[in-house]
Structure 1
Amino acid sequence: MTIKRNDPCVCGSGKKYKKCCMNKETSKVVSEQQFEQYVTKRKLLIEKMRMYMKEQLTAKQRYFLEKEFNDRTNGEVPSELRGSFTDLWMLFFNRSDEGRRLIESFLSDRKKHLTEEEIEMVVRWESLTPRILQAVNKTDNVVTFTDCLSNELYKVSLAEENQTSFAPWYGTFSLIEPFNNRHMFYGVRLFEGPMNIREATTYIREVAEAKEASVEEIMRDYYPEILSVFIRGQKSKEKTKTKVVCQHIAKWNVHDEEEVIRLLEGQPSIYLEDWSNENKMASFILDWYRYEDSELEGDVLTAEVKSTLQIKGTTLIVEAFDEEALTEVKNLFSNSSSASFDEETIEEWEIPLHAEMKNMLVQMDPDLPKCFSLFAQNNLQAQIKKPLSIEEGRTIEQLVREGELEVVETWMRQSEYDLFIAQKSKVGSTEYTADYNSIRKHLNLPLSPYVTGGDRRQSTHVMIASDSEQVDKVNGGPEKNTGRFYLPLIEQFKEVKTAGKSDSTIRKYTNSLKILEELFDSVSEEINNVEEVDESVWKNMLMGHLVEHYSTLTKTQCKDFISVTKAFTKWADDREGTTYSNFVTVLLKEVETTLLKPADIKK
């Protein structure tokens, strides 16, 4: 269908086509043509400046300038970009003995050979100051950057810049010039994440204060040093810190495969991945979580793997990063003649200090977008309850309560940036982005503009109840926090003991207190308050229900439960005025004797 100039515009505005979309299309075409023409002219002018620089510097001078730039950037600039960054520094920021920059000399010496438009361009360029810029919004193909030092806003067209490196909250240390009511970057640049941006911004402010100079002066005079900090991100002393992670690999000789399989299948935490073929594969896992998302028609199930297991012919192989997880398997076969221990080897991995190595199981409908598997594994609800780092022992929730909002905001932005980068790398499609707004609402932080669904987005990780909990609900048993006075005590105790602690400590208290909760449930009809939990009740719980229903606890699980229960009774005595610890300590000694072998007790 052909639309004539005087026909009604197809957009439904009621205006004639020539007065509406025809005008807009024309403006868009003109704008694109102007941009292409400017880029062509800019390239030609930059080439003239580069030729001038080549004429002005001897080979010896250039060598020493390149060496100075590389030294001042600590060799951080990628080798493939080092030449371009060096040229930019020599043209715009390095000063001769007379105090002049090459771009100033170029304008003075070559002015009569330049057109009026070229003179205007050079005059504009020589006034530019590099900026620390961070993306704070994106609409269609236009990204809004904020100057992290002045808070000025700059709109940059991704299409015009031909940028493929976009990521939420990314940024650059670059020159930027105005063009057609927007801005465009000038010269070579690198894009990095929020932590790098924050580090560079802090460095500029610190140097400006120390030198009693403006930040603009510092960004020009210390361009190489700032660029180095921006690329490096964390301070070098932090970046070089590492830790060693051990992967334990143990082997058993299988003598009775049927008995081995029976033992394994009876473990509540085992997940059978491939159990029908000759080579069998399984995993020992922690709790299952269901990831629910308003952008997803369906759920994703995840579980953290403690150890993996294979049966290859007559060999049983178990691999684990957690030594305790491997010990549980050793204890399982210690009294069985179905398999005999063969050997254990340890492989060491050196990883960054704050990194974690985890193995996750994921179950989801294969037709669902694959990115939701990544989102499900990124459990923010759990992350905000963990210490931010080894040095910073406080959790995200604690930092929010104490007003450290800048630290929290940077962490949130870096996490969103990192997950987006991983999504592009592993999945490719970024049609859906991860939900950081649900957790931002929980923490009362400003929402992210990069989340699919915006403020309507909702997601959560829900722990899936164990089989015993499910049966309890079906049989009309007690529901969580309903009429069970001991639950608030247990939950408060857990919060006190796990705040800011490591994953292993949190796991120890979580698992042990889950057992203690079930022991209280077993006598819940007999007790209504803390005073009624006397020695006979504790004896019934520990020597009756615990011994009867938890006789297969591993040595580690048993010792963890005993130490946690001792700590709980002492804490309850101090808080509630009870005298639990007087007799519970004695009962726990009997539990230890009953459940553990004499050799285990001595250890």
Structure 2
Amino acid sequence: MPKRNDLCPCGSGKKYKKCCMNRSSSQAMVVQDELNQLETELLYMAFTRYQKQLTNWVQSYHSVYPEADKTVTETLSSMLLVWLIFTKPIQEDETTIFDVFYEGKKRKIKRPKTAFLLETWKHTRPAVLEIKQQTDERVYRSVDLLTGQQIDHTLPTEHEKTARPGSTVIGFPAKSDAHMSFIGPVISHLPEKTAAIKQKVASFVNETEDAFLQKWPQLLSALLNSEQAPTVAPDQFRWHTDKQKETAEALLNGLRLDRCPPEIEMLALEKWNQFCQEQNPAIRKPAAYAAAMEYALQTIAPISATQKALAKKYGVSPSTISARSAEIVTVLKETATA
């Protein structure tokens, strides 16, 4: 137990009698306030320093769901941006936007508890939660439908009307002082929608963590789509050659292997058909162009895959994907600006 005139153990540099003596709850509030400020600074840094990269993703998401409700689309697009901040490498050494932010902040934070909690944010991942019970005035105990993990968390006040046992919550829970709280936007649904949400989540629960993180945009898109989408098929388009159609079929099969929603499938076939109409490529190996088209699709749609992963999936070399995808991206950009 520190004495009155000792330095406060919270790390503020003040004397104990002028800081945390007889007000431990106040310390928790201070830590939470500091974390809230750090969250604001993180999002501000991301949206200013990396505005171009992140804006491209926002635009790609709206292009896939042009008819979606504006408020819903903006919220979900913001969730994709938070996913990018924590998981999308921006450098060859796999450094993320959050890594850059943390490295710039860690030596400036005076309070050890705040510094420790900020470091844990590196492991922040998206979650789809089912509320099991309310344990306190603003604290809920939920189970992550993706991992089975149980967590205690708070919720923004605007979600209190929908938060009850059986409700679902979608967002990015991160450690705070006493309970987990959310970084970025949150989506909550009444229990009436839980069965449908569980059905959509079910096909992702057996994925490894890395695989799931890569497929988060697909799951998010599936959760957005409340209506049955029309069937997508290569026969809906005109092709110059059978090989071009075979490539479309290989591309469609590849996207379905990763459970991409029909809207992404349709966008992929539309862009592949557009490329074929412009270039009429002579194709020897459809899988090579299918892999390249899926890789190029990342520039206009909220999906994510590495050349290495696509090479394995389609049975082609990464160098082939690199060359072909560059060709496709160039043609599509020229067509868009023509």
The normalised TM-score by structure 2 is 0.48
Greater RCO, CA 8 A, separation 6+:
2
Greater helix content: 2
Higher-Rg member (1/2): 1
Greater strand content: 1
